[in-house]
Amino acid sequence: MSEDTGIWTYAITEDGHLSGPDGEVDLSWVTGVGEAKVRIITCSGLTALVSDVSLAEFGEGALRENLENLDWLDEVAREHHYVIDAAARLFPLLPVRLATVYSGDAAVCAALAEHNGQLFDALGRVGGRVEWGVKAYPAQEPEAAPESGKPESDKAGPAPPAGNLAGGGAGEDAGPGGGAGLAYLKRRRAQLTAARETKATAVNAAQAVHADLTAKATDTRLYPAQSAQLSGVRQPMLLNAAYLLDPGDSVTFTAAVAGLATAHRELRIELTGPWPPYSFAGDDDGH
Amino acid sequence: MMTDTDLAGTGYPAERVSLVDLLDRVLARGVVVTGEITLSIAEVDLVVISLRALLTSVSALVGTEPEGE
């Protein structure tokens, strides 16, 4: 192994999964990060899917820098995913977290030996299963300022009448101006209350959807709401969850999601998958 | 940017997964197999990664969203 080469790891599977009655699984057509050929390293009854990477790009210092470059991250994440996704269609596996780079084949073997029990356990738990992602947002555009209870934040609301609203003098300023001001204030309060209620309804609905889907899944993970900057969605994300399923249950699960989307018009529900079981390969806390 | 399909559509996700869904999974999840590795992503501050990466280049990705508020 050359000094300037590292071993990028994609997934781990049981040794026995790569050969069966139909012969050996052929991975020679799969290319990974940096378009390198994917190969396997087998030790301690486990097989790691790996490829060689240049430490100039994937060594510790370079990785730290490159991970902060979104274009680089986008490309590498997709290459990593491509290998895992292709292999997961052929045999049960554990996806390995992005940017796990070893110094050489011997280091991979040492890690497989060190974590042997944990890896076999995890393979038994999630190997061969799939995950579906479900995200939920409020169905309608948020009100102009649903969060702020301040009546004067009326940028997008109807234009206030000429009377002084903010000063609190509207009531005593008897006359048509004051009456209109009070009416506006009431209307605005009603709008804000309605917006809050709409939001609370959507939050409750998202929780109900999650409870319903959790009951149908083998396991569940909740993700934090995604960054609106990255997703491009301005509405607040109310649910970002992953559900682990036997592949044979995908049809009924996705039908259930569609049914929930129809039943909960107050939500916009998005479904992604089937994914390799990324969200369930590690421990509960993601490690 | 948003490539996964709304349920009003076909009910099946588009071929190209959205980056944000992918990063949820490959950065924060996946089995961690420590050993003689050059860098464990668990050791890197994920918040720093996502924020810096986002702030530097996401505006170009998402497009011309007006910066309100």
The gap from C-alpha A173 to its chain's centroid, in whole angstroms, comes to 55
Specify if A169 maps to a domain.
Answer: no
- Is A226 within 8 Å of B20 when comparing Cβ atoms? yes
CATH number of the domain encompassing residue A254: 3.30.70
Same domain assignment for residues A26 and A71: yes
CA distance B68 to chain A (A): 11
Q: How does strand A267-275 pair with strand A46-54?
A: unpaired
| Residues of B whose CB is below 8 A from A147 | none
Specify if B21 maps to a domain.
Answer: yes
B47: contact with A, CB 8 A cutoff: no
- Is B25 within 8 Å of A119 when comparing Cβ atoms? no
Same domain assignment for residues A20 and A42: yes
User: Coil, strand or helix: which one is A6?
Assistant: strand
pLDDT tens digits for range A85-138: 999 999 999 999 888 889 889 999 999 999 999 999 999 999 999 999 999 999
More confident residue, B2 or B21: B21
**A23: enclosing H helix or E strand:** strand A23-24
**To the nearest whole number, what is the mean pLDDT of chain B?**
57
Same domain assignment for residues A27 and A101: yes
Report phi then psi at A117, rounded to 5.
Answer: -60, -45
- The predicted model gives B50-60 an average pLDDT of 50
| Residues of A whose CB is below 8 A from B49 | 67-68, 73
Q: What is the pLDDT of residue A220?
A: 96
Report phi then psi at B7, rounded to 5.
Answer: -65, -20
Specify if A124 maps to a domain.
Answer: yes
CA distance A287 to chain B (A): 6
Same domain assignment for residues A141 and A88: no
SS3 string of A180-214? Answer: HHHHHHHHHHHHHHHHHHHHHHHHHHHHHHHHHHH
How many structural domains does chain B have?
1
- Is A60 within 8 Å of B38 when comparing Cβ atoms? yes
CB A95 within 8 A of CB A49: no
Same domain assignment for residues A137 and A10: no
CA distance B13 to chain A (A): 5
Weakest-pLDDT range from A28-32, A137-141, A252-256: A137-141
Q: What is the pLDDT of residue B68?
A: 39
How many structural domains does chain A have?
2
B17: contact with A, CB 8 A cutoff: yes
Q: Determine the structural domain holding residue B38 and report its residue range.
A: 1-64
Q: Determine the structural domain holding residue A62 and report its residue range.
A: 5-128
- Is A77 within 8 Å of B27 when comparing Cβ atoms? yes
- The predicted model gives A28-38 an average pLDDT of 91
- Is A60 within 8 Å of B58 when comparing Cβ atoms? no
Q: Please state whether the predicted TM-score (pTM) of the whole model is above 0.90.
A: no
Own/partner long-range contacts of A194-201 (Cβ < 8 Å, ≥24 apart):
A194/A143, A195/A142, A195/A143, A195/A146, A196/A146, A198/A138, A198/A140, A198/A143, A198/A146, A198/A266, A199/A138, A199/A142, A199/A146, A199/A236, A201/A266
CA distance A186 to chain B (A): 25
Same domain assignment for residues A92 and A208: no
Same domain assignment for residues A252 and A111: no
